[in-house]
Structure 1
């Protein structure tokens, strides 16, 4: 494997042979914890490295040293696992210091007695050992040998003589107990007394007075805390784990969000199965996000595990694989302390189970948790008593009187994105950090930050946190994968009908299955205008020939990523390229707030043919806009207009009145000029 520059690595080697000298076959792997952040190198590592034993039973692999400076967390180790062809399986923890350039792992791997073949070896007869003899009365001089003991078996007592020395027994013995008392009675009394003292000691809550100290030294501790989030404005929380980028509330979503530098918090929602297992799911029913229906509480955990899968393909693309529903314990065990977890129990029954689980199994994790609940939930007192940060989210219409009536004031407020700017300002003025949910667009981050909002709970954090397109400049979209990219979204989010849909004919085409629908292609849009402008390349076809005056096309040149709608008042201005059913290609300008738009240029081309791809090219230079149609007979026109020079692009169904004639697009690219 290749180790980035600036990261210290160790060459790990080893050789495995049988007792007869023949080499083993098999593999050895080194598994790192779920997520290791190398802050100084701006790098994140996870997963495992696996090496195969060669024909000599040897291996060599390059691994990141476990004591690199600036690691988060520190003090971690690999789990080494050896699998040999004779069925031998070994696992052990191992750390590698950056001071070593090469390490032979066989020199210090622990021995496994279970894997050793023991051979019995007959030795010489040993010397006679001492014996304890017994009988009535004192021992006779000829009884026993040197080193032996004699137990006198009297009716009411026991007397021990010995050891015999130089052929002679001691003249007097030691009374061990009986009617006259003795050592045995005293020993029994001492054992009873010590047993009582031991029971009192082990049953004490803190018998040594150092339990609190030991907890800070040996129990797991939170690495990232809510206070760390406030060191950056704005800070970002992955809403439902990033539910517009991955299947919401799945381990895949949580892992994907946590792996992105800058995302230090995730939101986790919890419901309870019929047999009381906390599982991660936003809704109390399975209908919206899975392939099943009904209440979560009507399904046992085993039924959920084996029969239920997410249905994210409808929202995120048919190329995705559906996921299992994780348990809360799986999430806490893997990610607890590595990111701040905004934890919400969705029902009172779930709240009770989650509280018990945290108290019993995760008291160390509470400093890294945010207890999230509706402001009327009534569970904040429990969380506050355990020093958890409390986040109360409110409704758009919640009044100041209702907030003032809360018996336990939260640490942070949560406001919905539907709340007016004026009301958000009033909540900010209550002098507690405010988080807005859910935030999907960069333009919303800019607006909310200006209002004083500190945190952004984002369903697409990978997109919102970036300032440019994904991939290399000008790279075409990856639509052939049939997996939605971060930043590609309809005007209504978490809505499969308004999402981008992928053609399943292998053409790499996409479509919008809603009349009047439009989709932002944020993954390839430019957040700033290049000095010499940029070009838009794309292909487009109609499923069937549309009526002469109906059209689909693209919107472009927008300076912000707010939603676009044809024939509506859009917050930011831009251009619209309309391809009509009669072949006329029109360029319209849409100033901010203007629903109609103004035609500023056009050309007459061949009418679209059903199912046939047309190729277009648009150059947006500092001085003009040039439009070309390159399939068939090439045509172009230019307009000296400089009204809009933004880089955000939307696909638009335009004025199409039937999905039987809906447009399809493919091959979109925005290379700088």
Structure 2
């Protein structure tokens, strides 16, 4: 079953096969997915014989993208809507984690407990499959659309195999080692041995077993140990032609900091195809690709791969995070914004700055850097320190996370202080403090009142304005230094609340 990494298998043939699968997946989504059955395989025999893994290996080009937890930055992770979204975006591979119920039905979940991602608590193993089907998956950071009924529910592994097993590569993992035989038996029941890559922790005793059975393996390290010795030890058990060495993007040893370049290079130098997980931003994907990483494991494949056209307006009325709309840690519930009206987004997190990358609007199209951005702003509650700000950061060449005084990027920040002052600053990578370019004295703010704001950018100037019935207050900065196409919004204070609506790019 070993597969070469390159061949003449045509891209047209592969796309036709996978494209047909995407259409079928969409139809399955509309009609619903059947409950787990004990019947034999209904998979297309020709497709299964060819093997989706083989088709992918023979046609892909680095970098390629693997959907992490389906589309976990945008849809509740490991649910049918999440898997369906990833396949609909053209994901050639999706990552699927499993646990098991009290009556030994394999279900799709990252955790062995229900606490983090559902409206229930306790071990999954303590519930029957019948009980698990009535539990909703809830992830507040994705928006209120995903916290109100009808909630997506926990799918069975068999449902996922039947819906997607012959349409995309499945990178499958049994989170509990005792579930591994059950996982493999279901794969073999449906004749999908050539359509899966077995995902295993680098210390798992199942690596040799999976390889002896002919499966390619996805061997991953955790953030607690990414030493050079551990990487080389893991690689020694892998085949350069078929297997994958998968590293986390952050290091526990370095308190959640990005994994160092040297660590990535160590993995690449082993000659085993190196993947990284999880990737949320295009700038991250570019960095890892430049270091020699082949596979990008991402929870927002449509955005990270650049397959989505830039939007020209917000989609906040949907009550859901858009692909590319990124907090500092998109997979953490504490970072998510609030929705306090039909079409408004609210920044009200306590205890820290709160910034959001508006990647869904980027990159801005005008090569001369000419555009106008308008929106409404309302201070619901002023921060304790009224010199703190609403901030619109622009002119960035990529989507690396921005907040005040990080000192990681070049650009501008147009700010509206809680005391009413309008100001424009520039900021430079490596320097934490911004440089003020222009500003005006404060104009009165009334809490609870909507204000119209506008930023106009030309090749040489920035004009930052508050529009009102009592006239327009504007500041102008003449500076051509930065004209990148990514932008961010945020609140610099650690308290207070502000809302935004009707954001438009022209």
Q: TM-score range by the shorter chain?
A: 0.7 to 0.9
2:138 paired residue number: 311
Q: 1:253 to 1:641 in 2, by over 3 A?
A: same
Q: 1:599 to 1:309 in 2, by over 3 A?
A: same
1:248 paired residue number: 77
1:511 paired residue number: 347
Q: 1:292 to 1:584 in 2, by over 3 A?
A: same
Q: 1:622 to 1:348 in 2, by over 3 A?
A: same
Q: 1:549 to 1:400 in 2, by over 3 A?
A: closer
CA shift digits 1:451-489 (9 cap, x unpaired) = 110000001111111266544xxx321111211100111
Query: Please, which runs of 5 or more residues in structure 2 have no aligned partner?
Result: 1-13, 32-42, 251-258
Structure 2 residue aligned with 1:366, among 171, 186, 193? 193
2:96 paired residue number: 268
The Cα shift of 1:615 comes to: 1.1
1:449 paired residue number: 289
2:118 equivalent to 1:286: no
- The answer to whether the Cα contact below 8 Å between 2:66 and 2:295 also exists between their aligned partners in 1 is yes
CA shift digits 1:281-330 (9 cap, x unpaired) = 00111000000000111111111012x11002x12111234211000000
2:166 equivalent to 1:334: no
Q: 1:527 to 1:388 in 2, by over 3 A?
A: farther
CA shift digits 1:559-614 (9 cap, x unpaired) = 110111212222x2111121112211011111112211111111235221101111
Give me the whole-angstrom Cα distance separating, in 1, the residues matched to 2:136 and 2:19.
38
1:418-437 equivalences in 2 (<5 Å):
418=250, 419-437=259-277
- The answer to whether the Cα contact below 8 Å between 1:222 and 1:336 also exists between their aligned partners in 2 is no
2:396 equivalent to 1:561: no
Query: Please, which runs of 5 or more residues in structure 1 have no aligned partner?
Result: 1-35, 50-78, 80-214
1:302 paired residue number: 130
1:47-58 equivalences in 2 (<5 Å):
47=26
Give me the whole-angstrom Cα distance separating, in 1, the residues matched to 2:238 and 2:230.
12
2:503 equivalent to 1:668: yes
1:592-671 equivalences in 2 (<5 Å):
592-632=429-469, 633-654=471-492, 656-658=493-495, 661-671=496-506
- The answer to whether the Cα contact below 8 Å between 1:372 and 1:391 also exists between their aligned partners in 2 is yes
Structure 2 residue aligned with 1:323, among 140, 145, 152? 152
1:60-99 equivalences in 2 (<5 Å):
none
Aligned length: 459
Give me the whole-angstrom Cα distance separating, in 2, the residues matched to 1:44 and 1:258.
6
- The answer to whether the Cα contact below 8 Å between 1:240 and 1:267 also exists between their aligned partners in 2 is yes
1:531 paired residue number: 368
* Secondary structure at 1:366 match in 2: coil
- The answer to whether the Cα contact below 8 Å between 1:237 and 1:267 also exists between their aligned partners in 2 is yes
Q: 1:448 to 1:281 in 2, by over 3 A?
A: same
2:174 equivalent to 1:345: yes
Higher Cα radius of gyration: 1
- The answer to whether the Cα contact below 8 Å between 2:424 and 2:475 also exists between their aligned partners in 1 is no
CA shift digits 1:31-81 (9 cap, x unpaired) = xxxxx97589999634569xxxxxxxxxxxxxxxxxxxxxxxxxxxxx9xx
Structure 2 residue aligned with 1:439, among 279, 300, 308? 279
Give me the whole-angstrom Cα distance separating, in 1, the residues matched to 2:179 and 2:494.
47
Give me the whole-angstrom Cα distance separating, in 2, the residues matched to 1:227 and 1:480.
40
* Secondary structure at 2:344 match in 1: coil
Give me the whole-angstrom Cα distance separating, in 2, the residues matched to 1:400 and 1:482.
44
Give me the whole-angstrom Cα distance separating, in 2, the residues matched to 1:533 and 1:467.
24
1:346-425 equivalences in 2 (<5 Å):
346-359=175-188, 361-362=189-190, 364-396=191-223, 397-403=225-231, 405=233, 408-409=237-238, 411-418=243-250, 419-425=259-265
* Secondary structure at 1:271 match in 2: strand
- The answer to whether the Cα contact below 8 Å between 2:93 and 2:168 also exists between their aligned partners in 1 is yes
Q: 1:435 to 1:405 in 2, by over 3 A?
A: closer
The Cα shift of 1:259 comes to: 1.3
- The answer to whether the Cα contact below 8 Å between 2:226 and 2:247 also exists between their aligned partners in 1 is no
- The answer to whether the Cα contact below 8 Å between 1:486 and 1:523 also exists between their aligned partners in 2 is yes
Q: 1:393 to 1:527 in 2, by over 3 A?
A: farther
Q: 1:259 to 1:380 in 2, by over 3 A?
A: same
- The answer to whether the Cα contact below 8 Å between 2:302 and 2:323 also exists between their aligned partners in 1 is yes
Scaled by the length of structure 2, what TM-score is found?
Answer: 0.85
Give me the whole-angstrom Cα distance separating, in 2, the residues matched to 1:401 and 1:507.
52
1:257 paired residue number: 86
Give me the whole-angstrom Cα distance separating, in 1, the residues matched to 2:20 and 2:162.
25
Give me the whole-angstrom Cα distance separating, in 2, the residues matched to 1:564 and 1:42.
40
* Secondary structure at 1:447 match in 2: helix
- The answer to whether the Cα contact below 8 Å between 1:479 and 1:510 also exists between their aligned partners in 2 is no
- The answer to whether the Cα contact below 8 Å between 1:246 and 1:253 also exists between their aligned partners in 2 is yes
Give me the whole-angstrom Cα distance separating, in 2, the residues matched to 1:466 and 1:401.
35
- The answer to whether the Cα contact below 8 Å between 2:101 and 2:129 also exists between their aligned partners in 1 is yes
